[in-house]
Structure 1
């Protein structure tokens, strides 16, 4: 915004014998002052602007001093800002020197936004001192103000509860196994009456007695230890699968065990690897290295046999456990329904509910007090990290972020993405925008990115704000779009939003694109919701020149 500049003209004319208004006006014709932005804008409750003047040689007297005081004039008052002081080259003072050879003067103004400044103006009031004369320079308006769309922004970040992993149907397994002698597929009677098989039979029987458990079927998987060659062991494994299938008929004769699947694996290298890893063998790292280096079974067996000092121990303690057939029975457990969980809560029988059940039950209530009780139970009884995090979230919901951080600080994983996001929300609430942005960027979740859009909006980086808020269909997205000149987009974003603020913002977007009918339409709609918005509009620079 360029204005005729009386200030610099006065600096010249202050040393002249004639200092009439006509002389001032004549000298000022070739000088301009520029304010950026042209219409003052509020950012985080603060207004900033830069004023610059370019003038040619000979305009500033070497003996002149000038004091320029910016004033914000608005309904209900005026606010003087800190003055700028300039001096000519011959003046002995500590102000900014303006050479007689010409140059530029640039200054920045900063002031807090106050109610009533929605429609205001920025003026410069100047006094020139030169050669014993004092001259009051005519007031010049350099900018209008103040655009304050951000005041309508939602400045509170979003966060989320940790979800439960509750399953309505839980798949469970019960397992037993029988062992064979070396190079044998015969099932010994002692194996059928051993603890492993008895435990499996007991689990199947209990499942059949329960209304909540359904036995689905059993997999019979047979193996051979990796000794004696691949061909021999494949055949032996097959024979063991046949004998195990016959043995299963005896094991499951008194129960309904469902369908049966029979598999033969052959040499059990995976089982061998697991057994070695969990053993106390002195050279187990060397054995595992052999397994990783060679894939051919014959080479593996040969290399392991070369480890003569440890091979005897392998034969005695590892191979016998790999000569086996496994019986894996799959069952479905019908978990508590939501109604069942509620009944257990009402009957004070939460001791029957596991961690996932407590988290599910907490998600079913709107009561923050009950949520806290359930999450505390999960955290205290089961050491639930999600319960502890969610307990902190309930305190966030209550507006107690300091208390919430006590629980957040106790979490083991301080790099958890949801935790980083909520720490960003706390920083945002404390107006620590840089700190909040850092947390949101480290989190990187969808909700954290949307929160990052709020930070950019409050910082005045509207392009980035629009990027991170895109698709949220929120008031904040619409505000960023208006700042970015996407007026139709902003109006579309707010379709379906029926609060007075949303109608008001649509009126702003309409005004920006010169749509007088749209201004009236949306301001009328806002006023129907809340009559005060018509009065607000009359004092808003956004609607300067519009009738409504």
Structure 2
């Protein structure tokens, strides 16, 4: 049996071993010819992956002759036979240039003999292990959704010019357009005057204009209310015009009137505790005709008494609004304060200051200052961690992300960033869980999930996640699904200037499509950017066909 061992045939799938999801899988079908297998013999066959500096054995398989009283696969002496076998071993980088051999030991009774190893395959194609494992962290700008509609520098991103306004009402008696001294001397009107004067005089404020909106309450005849609201517009706008001239304030004055203030009526009703409030609001939603609305509301006699006392007097008014733009600090002022007196800046200004420089150390200083000035704002810790992550310092970034999470446990941005740390640390399962929790945080999450997908050999999923990004990993994912032209297109449009893995993957496309010039030119560019790639290229079976060629040897020497 040992002498004729060459008569045994082995079919290995794949013919050249590959690694996927961190393992080297192998399927072997062994065929013993007729009149070969001794009836009393037992053969133990062990696939072994051998490489420089070591070897890794797969699980052995045992077959036996017809007269052996054991429970192994039986091979007929007369007809021969076969065995099928599948196993996997964890991939290590040493296996990139290796051989799969079958070592067999045959025994008969107390005698045993070792066969010469039989080479059955080469290994291991390891392109998926070249995935650019550099997940993206996300900057924190907006702390939470601002539902107020009013700019808040503690929540919203930096705005250099912030719109602001102040509104005061002049109220009229029923059916009257006469201005009353009590109204003109009210606290609200006095504050409006001060606000307008200050906006006109202040260096960092610009008075954009003053608008007068006059109204009549929605009771009585529409024609009468139209004339009444127009008269109120006239008296109130004349008053405002005189006040502007008196204070020597230059501002555009606009005025308008609304015959019946149903919008104001609805707003006040919603805030009131008036009996039958819901019925009245239902009337407003059911009818658009003002006369029908008034009639139906008056039919609710008890409720209408409260409406007439509490709601309607507030609608007999002229609303005066001064619109202002608040002018923020210049970039130079913000940077000076960020470097010298960061406590003089609000959160939005500090976050903006960090965007005014590309110097990572300065960014770290600014975000560090923010953690001291605003220790309860998660964005300072998160963004400092993000800068460290951009520098590849994920271990240093992790505690900062954890601090950010303690301040905002549900923020998806932080989940993504913690996932990035887990991915770099090799905890793919934890990373995937965190990226899932970061859904909707940004395109960075898709990039990170694609890295996970490639590591799990889910190449089609990675292609979908990365489609159109033109990143090196999109090129790799498309290589792995056999789309070499799509891979090359993505790699040639890669926005990452000076990325050596882009050239490496282009070289793989060249090797797989027999485009030698593309392969050689890309390999030369890759090693010129990173000479450490030479040893990897020298053992990469993607280029096995060219190992002995002079140009290849010149690249890797």
Instruction: Give the TM-score category using the shorter length.
Output: 0.7 to 0.9
Question: Number of residues paired by the alignment?
Answer: 520
* 1:244 correspondence with 2:236: yes
SS at match of 2:163: strand
Cα distance in 2, alignment partners of residues 534 and 403 from structure 1: 36
Alignment of 1:160-179 (within 5 A): 160-163=138-141, 165-179=157-171
Offset at 1:486? 3.6
Q: Say whether the 8 Å CA contact 2:401–2:417 is kept in structure 1.
A: no
Scaled by the length of structure 2, the TM-score of the pair is 0.82
Cα distance in 1, alignment partners of residues 80 and 255 from structure 2: 98
* CA pair 530-290 structure 1, distance change in 2 beyond 3 A: closer
Correspondent of 2:399 among 397, 403, 428: 403
Cα distance in 1, alignment partners of residues 195 and 325 from structure 2: 12
* CA pair 198-528 structure 1, distance change in 2 beyond 3 A: closer
Q: Say whether the 8 Å CA contact 2:172–2:317 is kept in structure 1.
A: yes
Cα distance in 2, alignment partners of residues 543 and 243 from structure 1: 89
Residue 91 (structure 2) aligns with:
113
* CA pair 292-85 structure 1, distance change in 2 beyond 3 A: farther
Residue 460 (structure 1) aligns with:
457
Q: Which stretch of structure 1 is more off in the superposition, 118-127 or 513-522?
A: 513-522
Alignment of 1:391-430 (within 5 A): 393=386, 396=389, 398-399=393-394, 400-412=396-408, 414=410, 416-430=411-425
* CA pair 410-545 structure 1, distance change in 2 beyond 3 A: closer
Correspondent of 1:341 among 329, 334, 359: 334
CA offsets 1:119-155 (integer angstroms, 9 cap, x no match):
2111111223356664544533222111122333211
SS at match of 1:161: coil
* CA pair 313-536 structure 1, distance change in 2 beyond 3 A: closer
Q: Say whether the 8 Å CA contact 1:120–1:145 is kept in structure 2.
A: yes
Scaled by the length of structure 1, the TM-score of the pair is 0.84
Correspondent of 2:122 among 129, 133, 144: 144
Correspondent of 1:324 among 312, 317, 341: 317
Q: Say whether the 8 Å CA contact 2:124–2:541 is kept in structure 1.
A: yes
* 1:506 correspondence with 2:506: yes
Q: Which stretch of structure 1 is more off in the superposition, 310-319 or 329-338?
A: 310-319
Residue 149 (structure 2) aligns with:
none
Q: Say whether the 8 Å CA contact 1:204–1:257 is kept in structure 2.
A: no
Residue 370 (structure 1) aligns with:
365
Correspondent of 2:53 among 44, 66, 76: 76
Residue 293 (structure 2) aligns with:
300
Any stretches of 5+ residues in structure 1 without a counterpart? 1-18
Offset at 1:62? 7.4
Any stretches of 5+ residues in structure 2 without a counterpart? 142-155, 553-557
Cα distance in 2, alignment partners of residues 499 and 446 from structure 1: 20
* CA pair 186-500 structure 1, distance change in 2 beyond 3 A: closer
Cα distance in 2, alignment partners of residues 132 and 346 from structure 1: 84
